[in-house]
Amino acid sequence: MQQNASPIPPIVSLRDVHKSYGTLTVLDGVSFAVARGEVLAVIGRSGSGKSTALRCIDRFEKVDSGEIVVCGHRVDLPDVDLRALRQDVGIVFQSYNLFPHLTIEQNITLAPCSVKRMAAAQAKELAKKVLAQVGLEEKLHAYPEQLSGGQQQRAAIARSLAMQPKVMLFDEVTSALDPELTGEVLKVIEQLAADGMTMVMVTHEMGFAKGIADRVVFMHRGKVHETGPASILTAPNTPELTQFVGTGRLKS
Amino acid sequence: MGIELDFPAVLQRWPAFVGGAVLTLELAFFATVLGAVFGTLAAVGRGAHSALIAGACKAYVEAIRNTPLLVQIFLVYFGLASVGLKLSAFTVAVAALTINVGAYTAEIMRAGFEAIPRGQIEAAEGLALSRPQIYWHIILLPAVERVYPALTSQFVLLMLASSVCSQISAEELTAVANYIQSDTYRAFETYIIVAVLYIILSLVMRAGFWGLGLFLFPRRRRLGTPL
Amino acid sequence: MGGHLNINHLIFLGHGALWTIGLSLIALVGGGITGFAIALARISPLKSVRIASGAYVQLIQGTPLLVILFLGYFGLAAIGLNVSPLAAAGISLTLYVAAYLGEIWRGCIQSVPKPQWEAAEGLALSKVQRMTKVILPQAVRIATPPTVGFMVQIIKNTSLASVVGFVELMRSGQIVNNSLFEPFAVYAIIAVVYFALCYPLSLLSQKLERRMGRGMTNLTLA
């Protein structure tokens, strides 16, 4: 048995990923990995490339070069099976993107019924279960416009959970919320982490990142500028990260 | 000099008027259903990856919208006859009206498609839905709900436009009016009565569409707000 | 079996096309003047005027143009007023266009931003001055794209004048066909001519609408 090799490969790994929009370089050799059950927080300024890197993981952006492996799928290759990938990866967006013409229950049962061919009755039970997980059981038959921003985001998380993904991606999911509503969403994410979900979070909430992240990736101008355990947020090594967390909200 | 109007003489022909009105509604019904399907397909085709399909759909829409319905009806009528198809005037009328309303429907549906926020399509992709599933659940159904008032107006206009089918001897309401006025020599009264009947038919159609909308769109029925 | 399409036929069709343009202009001018009056009536402070003009619009918009044409031609003849096909078509189309343009223009006048109305009042302008110097110039800008678009409808609708015997493009085609017996080919040519008349106007209307999208932001910033 080799002593240097890790016995379990990471569930998400990016290796030397490059991406440009014309002359603008967005990702300049990005590499990081996430182990099963790990929570990774990706932080950085606007324009540092953090959201782009996250979206590349679920193939919402194509990379110019580099290797991305997610749950055994080679995402960087053009022939990747997108539908199989997206059953393994769940993504929650900043603007929730709930389907406005469907009830919350229908929002949640749509994918399991259409993609996994789940029976309607079974899907409805699943919807009740995931809504209970995020604390919204009573909103089963409501329409998205009847919910507050925080409730909509929690419903969006429930919708992704219903597909039982192996990895969850969160793209600045509290940035569009009023401050008093972010707490309820962060609580749900915290519980998911405690239950062992593998998560990659792009976030501005420094205090939250420090609280639940196992590791942090700080991106700066398209590169991974600094990475390490969550403690680097209180004890940064590089001057850029020092400056960044100095301006961020740090609630310990 | 007095103008003598004799409405009762014309009104006693009411069975013929009713027959014409029924045929007008039948024409409108079939052309609406077929035109809605045809137009939606053309709208989907406008966004196709193949430049040939997208171009063909755009050419179809522009050709119909920039030529009169009367010319289109005659082209369909004589075109079908020249390939040897002997169809009833009703069938030809439905075919021409379908082709006509399909183009206008395609434009309305396309506007509805383009109003769907990109984020919702991304969310659907993130849930591993296939392209046809996304088209149906996330694009088509909400688009129809959003443009439903415009569609309703378009189909009511179609019913009014069906009067032109009198020119290929379809026995709809205007053709009935022409026949009755030549029979009674009471043209003024006849066309006034027919105008009123068309207005009534418009109201009936609008009421029908309103009811259909309540049935099709539960969200609208429950919340009363536009999408 | 009939002759071949020759230059005489084409000249005849050309004449018909000119009459189509002529009738369209008559409808546009007549319907435009009447429609303007209707648009003003629709926003009149007098309730009876608003209702009357509203009823007129509802009536015309709920009736097929063909029926209005028949009413104008056969209907008037039956009560003793003999009109030529041109007059019947002209009057019917004028009434028709007036209703539609009136509605379009009413919408455009009402979509001049409210601050503009209030500013004009605040400057102590008289009612007439408010309309002519402030509201209408802006309404005209808003109204240009849909009016140009509606001109396409007018040209297409003149084809119905053929049914009451007016010799415009459509009727010319029918007459030519009666000597050629090639209906599909003749009407295909007719269609192409209508397309040539209408498509440029459609494109212009779309272009104006796109430019209005930018223009509207300028209006609200002012």
Provide the CATH number for the domain around residue B97: 1.10.3720.10
Q: Are the Cβ atoms of B174 and C190 closer than 8 angstroms?
A: no
Residues of chain B in contact with residue A81, where contact means CB-CB under 8 angstroms, are none
The pLDDT assigned to A3 comes to 53
Order of strands, sheet of A24-34, starting from the edge strand that comes earlier in the sequence:
A24-34, A12-21, A65-70, A73-74
Q: Among C64, C152, C190, whose Cβ lies nearest the Cβ of B161?
A: C64
Chains with ≥3 Cβ pairs under 8 A against B? A, C
Least confident residue range of B37-46, B179-188, C15-24, C154-163: B179-188
Q: Which domain holds residue B45?
A: 26-168+208-223
Distance from CA of C118 to the nearest CA of B (A): 30
Architecture of domain C7-221: Orthogonal Bundle (1.10)
Q: Is A38 in a helix, a strand, or coil?
A: coil
A210 has a pLDDT exceeding 50: yes
Domains of chain A are 12-48+63-247 (3.40.50.300)
The pLDDT assigned to B2 comes to 56
Predicted ipTM of the assembly? 0.89
Q: Is A4 in a helix, a strand, or coil?
A: coil
Average pLDDT of span B64-75? 96
Q: Is A180 in a helix, a strand, or coil?
A: helix
The pLDDT assigned to C133 comes to 85
Q: Which of residues 102-161 of B touch C (CB under 8 A)?
A: 160-161
Residue A238 φ/ψ, nearest 5 degrees: -100, 150
- In DSSP terms, A226 is beta-bridged to A218
A251 has a pLDDT exceeding 80: no
Is B205 part of the contact surface with chain C (CB cutoff 8 Å)?
Answer: no
Average pLDDT, chain A: 91
Say which residue, B79 or C75, is predicted with more confidence. B79
Distance from CA of B105 to the nearest CA of C (A): 17
A76 has a pLDDT exceeding 60: yes
Any domain includes B192: no
Is B69 part of the contact surface with chain C (CB cutoff 8 Å)?
Answer: yes
Report pLDDT digits (tens) over A139-186.
Answer: 999 999 999 999 999 999 999 999 999 999 999 999 989 888 999 999
Report pLDDT digits (tens) over B203-226.
Answer: 999 999 999 999 999 998 888 888
The pLDDT assigned to A58 comes to 94
Closest CA to C17 of C148, C155, C149, C153: C155
Percent of chain C with pLDDT over 70: 94
Report pLDDT digits (tens) over B48-65.
Answer: 889 999 999 999 999 999
The pLDDT assigned to A4 comes to 56
C219 has a pLDDT exceeding 70: no
Percent of chain C with pLDDT over 90: 64
pTM: 0.86
Is B120 part of the contact surface with chain A (CB cutoff 8 Å)?
Answer: yes
The pLDDT assigned to A6 comes to 58
Counted domains in chain B: 1
Residue of A nearest to B219 (CA): A101
Q: Among B70, B78, B191, whose Cβ lies nearest the Cβ of C70?
A: B191
A215 has a pLDDT exceeding 80: yes
C213 has a pLDDT exceeding 80: no
* Most B CBs within 10 Å, among C13, C58, C69, C71, to test the B interface: C71
Radius of gyration of chain A (CA): 18
Report pLDDT digits (tens) over B183-197.
Answer: 888 888 899 999 999
Closest CA to B205 of B151, B125, B128, B166: B151
Q: Are the Cβ atoms of A99 and B222 closer than 8 angstroms?
A: no
* Tokens representing residue C202 in the block: 């459609």
Report pLDDT digits (tens) over C94-115.
Answer: 999 999 999 999 999 998 888 8
Q: Is A227 in a helix, a strand, or coil?
A: strand
The pLDDT assigned to C222 comes to 34
Any domain includes B6: no
Q: Are the Cβ atoms of A99 and B120 closer than 8 angstroms?
A: yes
